[in-house]
Structure 1
């Protein structure tokens, strides 16, 4: 019997190692996290590591060593810093953190189990840093909820297609809702609703993002069901993801009046220290 040949893979017209990308090119199962690195550190680093470990145990029945993840990120950041030179050297006033690579970047960590019964593959992707857009965002509500919403998984086609549809219609993001108008999350974001000095995060099946979790630790934060029919009860809204937070100008044809408390939430977020990777 002739042994099966490994898959041949090209990326952007160039052949790559079949031992690595050969498997990954055929992969659609796994989980990930995305973080912003500034000066070699990231806000909520332990939450990112906990997310990866919890999802790995849930999907594959095995822990994912946080020290291993940190070491792989440091290695990738050092390589990125070497390749890009001063282009993305940290501009943070407190940079560099002790024992950290002095670089600003976006880091995506993907954990998979290609064989289904063996050691997984840990992928670290490093790119230029990004920040949340400061201009108010417009959201288009759609009837869709993510499968297995507690996990930040690779099967994101549905939500991303809704986000693309929202962009084509002149919006900035899709807002996912159930059949009765209950709001769950954005296609690529969490959303919080502000009334007075309280921010309400939808109590619905969703992915608890790291930025959302960090802000929930502050005063004036709660969870409760929120429906599209309830929007008039709120002064403002904010959406959050790995880039930070942005104010929400409108959902569909409902426009928010605005609130000073959104500025307070932004100040709280920016006051959170970066944890050295």
Structure 2
């Protein structure tokens, strides 16, 4: 079950009209454990920056944290998958915040199969609402027996996964595609903790990499293939990724 609060109060049929009827907004997704989260400052920065860009308004960090704490307390749990959505109806003096609280989730660690698709997200640097194309191609990948879709532009330049970031291993560096995409929080936490490089990656380049892995708010997992390109699961690389991620401190909400 999901507990939903809007502006610090339990959601009602009336207050749910806004999220039900508008797709103009943004959000962040996080995994909460013992009322703590990795990268809290990055989540708050994401929300504040997108609110400024989309609505030309300010969002108070203290308000966001207070609404998260209240929703967790009302739900009666300290481990959760939690999202904070931001809307700003015309004429309102401040943003509307919706917090959803559900069961905790962790990305399954079995190697993933990925299907490339001819699509890139609009305004990709913002974690925005209304991603029909993204969901359409992700559903197509699922129906074809894959675990994720890989978004690439008409020239075959790789950007990101439908709901993940992707990284490639060339034997010495973790290569993150240098293309317009969303900077995921897990990616942002791993980049400075791994031997990282940002490089243009195309679909034609995929066979040149030894291995790959995916990241999102639920964690990370190795890739076993993209389309017809098979990858070896590099256990030493995944050990390094695990160690880097485990070294990230948990922040109290």
Name the counterpart of 2:42. 47
Name the counterpart of 2:55. 60
Q: How far 1:219 moved relative to its partner?
A: 3.7
Name the counterpart of 2:135. 160
CA offset digits 1:198-234 (Å, max 9, x no partner): 1000000000000000001114011110111111221
Partner SS for 1:74: helix
Partner SS for 2:94: coil
1:79-90 superposed matches below 5 A: 79-81=74-76
State TM-score, norm by structure 2: 0.92
Could you tell me how far apart the structure 1 residues matched to 2:109 and 2:91 are? 42
Name the counterpart of 1:92. none
Q: CA RMSD in A?
A: 1.4
Q: How far 1:118 moved relative to its partner?
A: 4.1
Name the counterpart of 1:265. 241
Q: Conserved in 1, the CA contact under 8 Å of 2:59 and 2:95?
A: no
Partner SS for 2:179: coil
**Matched residues, number:** 242
Name the counterpart of 1:201. 176
State TM-score, norm by structure 1: 0.84
Between Structure 1 and Structure 2, whose CA radius of gyration is higher?
A: 1
1:1-277 superposed matches below 5 A: 16-18=12-14, 20-81=15-76, 103-115=78-90, 118-259=93-234, 260-277=236-253
Could you tell me how far apart the structure 1 residues matched to 2:202 and 2:17 are? 45
Q: How far 1:24 moved relative to its partner?
A: 2.5
CA offset digits 1:170-219 (Å, max 9, x no partner): 00011000111110000000000012241000000000000000001114
Q: Conserved in 1, the CA contact under 8 Å of 2:111 and 2:233?
A: no
Could you tell me how far apart the structure 2 residues matched to 1:109 and 1:146 are? 20
Which stretches of structure 1, 4 residues or longer, exceed 4 Å deviation after superposition? none
Q: How far 1:117 moved relative to its partner?
A: 5.6
Q: Conserved in 2, the CA contact under 8 Å of 1:236 and 1:262?
A: no
Tell me which moved more, 117-126 or 161-170.
117-126
Partner SS for 1:246: strand
CA offset digits 1:216-261 (Å, max 9, x no partner): 1114011110111111221110100000111011000101123221
Q: Conserved in 2, the CA contact under 8 Å of 1:182 and 1:225?
A: yes
Could you tell me how far apart the structure 2 residues matched to 1:193 and 1:219 are? 12
Could you tell me how far apart the structure 2 residues matched to 1:16 and 1:275 are? 31
